Amino acid sequence: MQNKELIKLALEAAQNAYAPYSKFHVGAAVLFDDGQVVTGCNVENASYGLSLCAERNAISTAVAQGIASQVKKIAIASLEADKCAPCGACRQWIYEFSKDAIIVLKDGDEMVEYTISELLPCSFGKEFLL
């Protein structure tokens, strides 16, 4: 799947975001190694710490659906911002599901890619728990 298609799916998911507090609507589209794509959006809560980011929503949905393959790419997009990178918590979540994940962000009319390792150097992983 092309990056533009993933960004389009992320923007579609962002339309479903529940963001009454921040007014910042984010969507994510996760492409797995087996070719499946799962989307998610941010869901806020009056108790801000209970809010759920789009990336974690999409990955959690995939887990609930029984998708067991690795994250290949994840596109993240906002309706309000041109370039929307994952927060630190989401970076750690993405790393948990693939040390080689590619993060796709919209930057104007261009698509930019980062590896999760670029965005989260010295991440905490399973290798530290053995």
Let me know if 55 is a catalytic residue: yes
Question: pLDDT band at 80, cuts 50/70/90?
Answer: very high
Tens-place pLDDT, residues 25-66 = 999 999 999 999 999 999 999 999 999 999 999 999 999 999
Q: Write down the pLDDT at residue 27.
A: 98
Catalytic position from the list 5, 12, 55, 118 = 55
CA angle 36, 42, 47 (to 5 degrees): 145
Cα dist. 96→4, 18, 53 in Å?
25, 25, 16
Tens-place pLDDT, residues 87-120 = 999 999 999 999 999 999 999 989 999 999 999 9
Is the pLDDT at 129 greater than 80? The verdict is no
Q: Write down the pLDDT at residue 127.
A: 67
Question: Do 9 and 107 contact (CB within 8 A), yes or no?
Answer: no
The residues spanned by each domain of the chain are: 3-128
CATH number of 3-128: 3.40.140.10
